[in-house]
Structure 1
Amino acid sequence: MASLPSMVLKAVLNNPHTITTKPRAKQLHAQIVKHKGLSSTSLSFILSIYADLNLLRESLLVFNALPSPPFVAWKSIIRCYTSHGLFAESLASFSRMRAFGKYPDHNVFPSVLKSCAFLMDSRLGEAVHGCVVRLGVDCDLYTGNALMNMYAKFRSLGGNGGIRGFADEVLDEMSQRVNRGNVMRQMDDHESCLDSGPEMYQLNSSGQNEIGSLEIRREACCQRDSVRKVFDMMPKRDVVSWNTVIAGNVQSGMYGEALAMVRAMGNANLRPDSFTLSNVLPIFAEHVDVHKGKEIHGYAVRHGFDTNLFIGSSLLDMYAKCARVADSYRVFHMLPQRDGISWNSIVAACSQNGMFDEGLKFFRLMLKDDVKPGPISFSSIIPACSHLTSLHLGKQLHGYIMRARFDDNVYIASSLVDMYAKCGKIEKAKCIFSNMELHDIVSWTAIVMGCALHGHALDAISLFEKMQMEGVKPTYVSFIAVLTACSHAGLVDEAWKYFNSMTQEFKINPGLEHYAAIADLLGRAGRLEEAYDFICSMPSEQPSSLWSPLMTACRVHKNVELAEKVAERILRVDPESIGAYVQMSNIYSAAQRWKEAAKWKVSMKQRGFKKKPACSWIEVRNRVHAFLSGDTSHPYYSKINEALEVLLEQMEKDGYKPNTSEVLHDVEEEQKKQLLQHHSERLAIAFGIISTPPGTEIRIIKNIRVCTDCHEAIKFISKIVGREIIVRDNSRFHHFKDGKCSCGDYW
């Protein structure tokens, strides 16, 4: 190793910051030992260089060689521990330094306060704050910023806002500046925890921290005020100081104060930076204020922040929550480079706005870009599989999740439960739920709703009760799930019990969905007048969506008179309701009141209304095929039609009789049969039969309710072909097997 000339060595000693690489630091180390010896001063000097270069191993070797480390050595090792994320070790060193009689200065406190913040030790953090005041370094800019960051972190964890903490006492004393001696005496008891540091943060022989018995305190009471008081007392504030206070206000939901601070920051001649903007954008996303969001976007463009990945992701999220997906696309495509956060943001933007195909497209592009998806990625994309009922893709994602070992993440596992349930695999959903180590309200609600949609009402109710026994309180959404379960099984008494429990015991105001579930249940049970009176009892105006299920119940139970009253109610609040016209036409047709049925059809035609076409989907070999009723455009139509003819012949031999009561009355009976035969779900089922091996499960999705005749026909088909046929319509799942349906003909 070449020897450094003495003049060069002297120059380096006077300006150690010229050493910027590990090899040069080691070379200097050797030369110092050669020329200066192993004195405490020389070792402390080289230690500071190693610490500046973030070389922990070398720093420890030098530090441990010091029999009695001077203050500069303690400062270096504390800083190095903190920069490596070894916060317990940092605090242990801080406590030992005090035990050795060394007093910290403004260079040490930022590292120590950061360690307190990351360990969430509010008691020790407050004691360090007291030490800051005692030693008179509370006016230091970096120490002040570290204090505000610490209190902001404590507050983000939540706490008991009714307790006035020691931090406020210290801050009040600081603001008064009456008697510093009194402040020091007040802090003596609290500062005793600084001296207990070695016991609280012991290091074992391997250097690992043993803080298992340490209680991580979560007392975040009044922390927002603590941050603001520190800020107000700082004689000098930089952008970091302002950003800390702004971020604290945003996290506390105090958006008005946050925006006021941004304006005050500008008045103080400080220009908001990328961190300021990323704190402000969520405010406009939360309040769906796209105009203010665009102003921030314009500011970002003018000052060159729009290419910043952090700002780009915040803009993506803001536009998505304001339902401006096209703007999200533009922001995404303008980014010069993309990281996991920006990819996650665009995928989430699509999913949040119902653009699930686009979300899947971006997810695939993310994989092609060699960006590994994380838990947030999967939490955004799995719901897309749920809504598209793409079981094949959902299984692929599940496999990826297991390989990445994300399956123990409660949010991802809950999404998988929901996905499998919505894709018709309720037993798989139950299995995943059972294997979860932890259950939160989201996972409980997902499994209860899954059981409800599949007609497993007793399982849904049992799980709902078990959830409460485990201390998880039901929410607005979980009550929708259990009421839906009761509705699909005709459990009237149980439904009333839960409805009353929701309002009386849990003080949850019922919403439209809860009223709809009860009204639907009463309608299914044939208690039509009771359902009508219940809907009328709603405190607010009843929307048409609440009356529509009752209209369906009137058709099922052939109550024409009540149907007329319901139709009047629907058209009063929604004159453009096509469903009311279609339902009334069908109800009159079923009652063979052809003139009234024709009037509704003519009125519908005069208004330019068109009936929503029935459509069914089936996924075969990873490709989705769509069928409309009477559709002859599919490439395999001739084979589909042939299969339907063969099935119909066998069905009629087994006792099937087509229900043509709701079909056009002015056509021949044989033509009525053909119209029923070519309903969209039957076309999809026939295609599934001819396109998959015998015994393969067939899964169909339909956009509207399965008609009575098709429901009966599919029971016959399932027995003839020996397959399970799963049909998901717009209200629930039907599992047809061996000539029976899981709904028990109650739907």
Structure 2
Amino acid sequence: MSSTQNLLGTILRNPNIITSKSHAKQLHAHILSAKGASSSDVSVVLFIYSNLNLLRDSCLVFNSLQSPPAQAWKSIIKCYTSHGLFLPSLAKFLEMRAAGIHPDRHVFPSVLKSCTSLMDLRLGKSVHGCIVHLGMDFDLYTGNALINMYSRFRNLTIMKESSSSNKVLGAFLNDSVRKVFETMPKRDLVSWNTVITGNVQNGMYEEALTMVREMGDASLKPDSFTLSSILPIFAEYVDVAKGKEIHSYAIRHGFDTDVYIGSSLIDMYAKCTRVEDSHSVFYLLPHRDAISWNSIIAGCVQNGHFDEGIRFFRQMLMANNKPMHVSFSSIMPACAYLTTLHLGKQLHGYIIRVGFDDNVFIASSLVDMYAKCGNIKIARYIFNKIELHDMVSWTAIIMGYALHGFAYDAISLFEQMEMEGVEPNFVSFVAVLTACSHAGLKDEAWEYFTSMTQDYGIAPGLEHYAAIADLLGRAGRLEEAYKFISGMHIEPTGSVWSTLLAACRVHKNVDLAEKVAGKLFAIDPQNMGAYILLSNIYSAARRWKDAAKLRTFMREKGMKKKPACSWIEVGNTVHTFMAGDKAHPDYRKITKALNNLLERMEREGYVPDTNEVFHDVEEEHKKYVLFNHSERLAIAFGIISTPAGTTIRVTKNIRMCVDCHTATKFISKIVEREIIVRDNSRFHHFKNGVCSCGDYW
């Protein structure tokens, strides 16, 4: 026997030694040139082509076989599956069965993967029956494939809306996963990890943790995949102590530099509000992928560290890491909160360039961002371009109109959503009730509040109660609001009582304010905002001693008032102003512009409302305090820094006072510009001396 024949025999017996396309082609040519090449030899070539993912060559070889042996069927099925051609893969499996060829344990993992990818549970169950009939259900790899299939179907069922049929199906799939796992005579890490991951994804946290303990009893040590699967449990439970135990285990076993473990740790620490720990994990990762970048960005934004989130996003781009679509959904809330419209527009342009603009989640984030940055027209334009609206996109646009005070637009969209068959949920009712509250639409609000429980079976939450209480408070129906809150089916929180306390300040009801404050302090004795509100109520009623006593109490308790702050974006830079702020480099120009505006405003009939200054000082000093409120400084800076006719967009961290609201109406008329101010509850569109809120806020 020649050396060539010896080599050929060695290759045919050990085909895995061929690792390149050129060598595979040489082998194929040699076999074809030899007389009397058997189908088994040709099947080996097909096996090699399949392993090398050479689809075209695999198909040509398979089609050249008149009666393909079992090896050839296995190879072509595997090749189709690995290329995502799941229907052809299943078709070949059915042809194989029709040809009387019995599948073996190497075929079923590919077939089950195709059933899973096509979400064809009926066929998957049929294949499972075939596996049992052929006695292959005891095979480790086949068992793992079955567990994976049933787990994936279970995940899809959980994601769908809850219904009796889905619950029955979910129970069947849970039972199927358990039965397959328990009947396996041998289980490896893949078996355990697949079931554990499935339990976590379906919210079965205790079952997942029990299985981790049982895995240890079976003398199997958790690997990086196990750890990254169970870390979300401690994120959900906000159990940082247990999460740290997993982190320590990962360090001891050398898993801490694994990018999947790292991403899970970043997410866990962030959801437990341990942002610095999440940063430490991120910086220690030797390699960072899109998932780890997205975890740190999302963690910053979720914890209110918006500037840091934007900084990490920019660093990701500089590191040539392409953002995933979820990265944009994570960063958009930061732009929305900071009202950085320029950055939001840059991100929008990037999204269009990478082709993510047709993604409904990203489009919904854009709708929310533009609405919260004050441009409701572009928000509506993007919403209208979405082909298939889901609950998230509907809620984003309805809440956008609600925040801008365009209640009838919000209500119209809500009704359109219902007509299109999208059932309102908890959040969408918050949006429409907020719209009614901001516009004082009491009757409509009660209709929606009643419909929520009677028509849709949604129990009112704190947000719904707060919206109704806010509506009653704004309308001056303070006693009715007090009774409404007292009669809530759930325990009211400090934020709900704070809504009524703010209304007491607006309507100057000191007696009820003291009563409400008592309720509030009993629930939340450290609520600094409530003490400040009550102090202002006392000051407005000229009860200076009571106000001073309250401020002394706050100082003794170490409470500090959150300073009023406004910011405006000019020339791609965000400029921040505090009340009475002289630190800005253009302060003199701003003061000059304000003095000029004040003279023109007074000629138009403006009279300062000094009741909004809660200090026992001279009247002239009160006027000076009002003159230097943060939003006025920001508006004046915007006027002197932008071309005539440019819309001015200002954000303020607390409620806009009555005098600044009046002054801004005058300014909008004098400078002939639209001025949009977003305070801590809504948007105000000032144009030609009129505000969109109708002086109701």
Shift of 1:453: 0.8
Cα 1:118–1:4, aligned 2, differ >3 Å: closer, same or farther? Answer: farther
Q: Residue 684 in 1 paired to residue 634 in 2?
A: yes
Residue of structure 2 in register with 1:644 after alignment: 594
Cα deviation per residue 1:473-511 (whole Å; 9 max; x = unaligned)?
Answer: 222222211111111111111111111222333232222
Contact 1:321/1:349 (CA < 8 Å) preserved in 2? yes
Structure 1 partner of 2:578? 628
Verify the 8 A CA contact 1:161 1:222 in the aligned structure 2: no
- How many Å apart are 1:107 and its aligned residue? 2.1
Q: Which is greater in Rg?
A: 1
- 1:614 is aligned to 564
The partner residue of 1:484 within 426, 429, 434 is 434
Relative distance call for 1:115 and 1:705 in structure 2 (3 A) is same
CA shift, 1:455, in A, is 0.7
Report the alpha carbon displacement of residue 382 of structure 1 after superposing the two structures with TM.
0.7
> Does 2:25 match 1:75?
no
Deviations 1:719-738 (A, max 9, x none): 11111111111111111111
Distance 1:78 1:311 in 2: 34
Number of the residue aligned with 2:49: 50
Instruction: Give the residue type in structure 2 aligned to 1:226.
Output: S
Q: Whole-Å Cα distance in 1 between the matches of residues 428 and 467 of structure 2? A: 13
Opposite residue 688 of structure 1, the aligned amino acid is: G
Aligned length: 693
Per-residue deviation, residues 69-106 of structure 1 (Å, max 9, x unmatched): 22222122112112222111111111112222222122
2:687 corresponds in structure 1 to 737
Contact 2:612 2:658 in 1 (8 A): no
Q: Which of 384, 402, 412 is the matching residue for 1:462?
A: 412
**Aligned twin of 1:189:** none
What amino acid does structure 2 have at the position aligned with 1:324? R
> CA 1:539–1:127 in structure 2 vs 1: closer, same or farther (change >3 Å)?
closer
**Are the equivalent residues in 2 in contact too, given 1:161–1:220 (CA < 8 A)?**
no
* Aligned-residue offset at 1:256: 1.7
Once the two structures are TM-superposed, the CA of residue 39 in structure 1 deviates from its matched residue by: 3.8
Instruction: Return closer, same or farther for 1:286/1:25 CA change in 2, 3 Å cut-off.
Output: same
CA distance in 2, matches of 1:314, 1:320: 10
> Residue 112 of structure 2 contacts residue 149 of structure 2 at CA under 8 Å; is this kept in 1?
yes
Structure 2 counterpart of 1:46, one-letter code: V
Checking the alignment, whether the CA contact within 8 Å between 2:675 and 2:686 is kept in structure 1 is yes
Matched, 1:336 2:335: no
Partner of 1:63: 62
**Which position in structure 2 is the counterpart of 1:404?**
354
Instruction: Say yes or no: does 1:222 pair with 2:172.
Output: yes
Deviation at 1:607, TM superposition (A): 5.4
Deviation per residue, 1:108-150 (Å, 9 max, x gap): 2222122112111112222122221222222222112122222
The answer for the alignment partner of 1:350 in structure 2 is 300
| Distance in 2 separating the partners of 1:542 and 1:242 | 44
More off after superposition, 692-701 vs 41-50: 41-50
Residues 145-179 of structure 1 deviation map (CA, whole Å, 9 limit, x = unaligned): 122222222222218997899xxxxxxxxxxxxxx
- Which position in structure 2 is the counterpart of 1:444? 394
Question: In 2, are the aligned partners of 1:246 and 1:262 still within 8 Å (CA)?
Answer: yes
Q: Secondary structure at the match of 1:631?
A: coil
With 550-559 and 357-366 compared, the bigger mean Cα shift is at: 550-559
Q: Report whether the alignment pairs 1:419 with 2:369.
A: yes
Whole-Å separation in 2 of the counterparts to 1:334 and 1:593:
57
User: Is contact 1:158–1:221 with CA below 8 Å preserved after alignment?
Assistant: no
Distance 2:540 2:229 in 1: 61
Give the whole-Å Cα distance in 2 for the aligned partners of 1:454 and 1:383: 17
Q: Is the 8 A contact 1:616 1:700 kept in 2?
A: yes
Give the C-alpha shift of residue 654 in structure 1.
0.8
- State how far apart, in whole Å, the 1-side matches of 2:537 and 2:170 are: 62
1:493 and 1:456 map into 2 onto residues whose CA distance is 17
Q: 1:8 matched to which residue of 2?
A: 7
Call closer, same or farther: CA 1:248–1:664 in 2, change over 3 Å: closer
Q: State the secondary structure of the residue aligned to 2:650.
A: strand
Deviations 1:277-301 (A, max 9, x none): 1221111111111121112112222
Note the 1:340-739 alignment, pairs <5 A.
Answer: 340-592=290-542, 594=544, 597=547, 600-601=550-551, 609-663=559-613, 666-739=616-689
Partner of 1:109: 108
Residues 585 and 106 of structure 1: is their aligned pair in 2 closer, same or farther, counting only changes over 3 Å?
Answer: closer
| Residue aligning to 2:260 | 310
Structure 2 CA distance for aligned equivalents of residues 606 and 27 of structure 1: 88
Per-residue CA deviation, residues 314-360 of structure 1 (Å, 9 max, x unaligned), is 11111111111111111111111111111111111111111111111
Partner residue of 1:127? Answer: 126
Distance 1:15 1:545 in 2: 72
Residue 247 of structure 1 aligns to a residue whose secondary structure is: helix
User: How far has the Cα of 1:699 moved from its partner?
Assistant: 0.9
Structure 2 CA distance for partners of 1:658 and 1:374, relative to 1, 3 Å: same
In structure 1, C-alpha distance between the alignment counterparts of 2:453 and 2:682, rounded to whole Å: 26
Q: Does 1:275 align with 2:275?
A: no
Secondary structure of 1:661's counterpart equals: helix
Deviation at 1:221, TM superposition (A): 5.3
130-139 or 339-348, larger mean C-alpha shift: 130-139
SS in 2 for 1:222: helix
* TM-score (norm. length: structure 1): 0.88
* Paired position in structure 2 for 1:142: 141
Superposition deviation, residue 628 in structure 1: 1.3
Give the TM-score of the pair, scaled to structure 2: 0.95
Q: Please state how far the C-alpha of 1:640 moved relative to its aligned partner.
A: 0.9
Tell me which moved more, 368-377 or 138-147: 138-147
The C-alpha deviation readout for 1:354-375, integer Å capped at 9, x for no partner, is 1111111111111011111121
Structure 1 residues 414-435: Cα deviation after superposition (integer angstroms, max 9, x where no partner)? 1111111110111111111111
Within-5 A mapping of 1:138-177: 138-158=137-157
Secondary structure at the residue paired with 2:611?
A: coil
Please give the residue correspondences for 1:177-326 in structure 2 after superposition, counting only pairs within 5 Å: 222-326=172-276
Distance, in Å, in 2 between the alignment partners of 1:255 and 1:570 is: 36
Q: Which moved more, 1:560-569 or 1:22-31?
A: 560-569
Hey, what's the Cα distance between the residues in 1 that align with 2:13 and 2:491?
Answer: 81
Structure 1 pair 593–320 and aligned structure 2 pair: CA distance change class (3 A) = closer
1:158 alignment partner, SS class: helix
In structure 2, what residue type is equivalent to 1:535?
I
Q: Is the 8 A contact 1:589 1:661 kept in 2?
A: no
Contact 1:157 1:220 in 2 (8 A): no
Aligned residue type for 2:376: I
CA contact (8 A) 2:536 2:614 kept: no
- The farther-off stretch of 539-548 and 629-638 is 539-548
Residue identity over aligned pairs, in percent, reads 68
Letter aligned with residue 84 of structure 1: H
Q: Secondary structure at the match of 2:649?
A: strand
The answer for the alignment partner of 2:17 in structure 1 is 18
Measured against aligned partners, the alpha-carbon deviations of 1:683-721 in whole angstroms (never above 9, x if no partner) come to: 111111111111111111111111111111111111111
Q: Tell me, in whole angstroms, the C-alpha distance in 2 between the residues paired with 1:681 and 1:409.
A: 37
1:251 positional shift: 2.5
Offset at residue 585 of structure 1 (A) = 4.2
Structure 1 residues 330 and 426: CA distance shift in structure 2, 3 A: same
Letter in 2 for 1:268: A
Tell me how far apart the structure 1 counterparts of residues 213 and 598 of structure 2 sit (CA, whole Å): 74
* Distance (Å, rounded) in 1 between the aligned partners of 2:607 and 2:411: 37
Change (3 A) 1:541 1:153: closer
For 2:276, the aligned partner's letter is A
Structure 1, unaligned runs of 5 or more = 166-217
Measured in 2, the distance between the counterparts of 1:535 and 1:283 equals 35
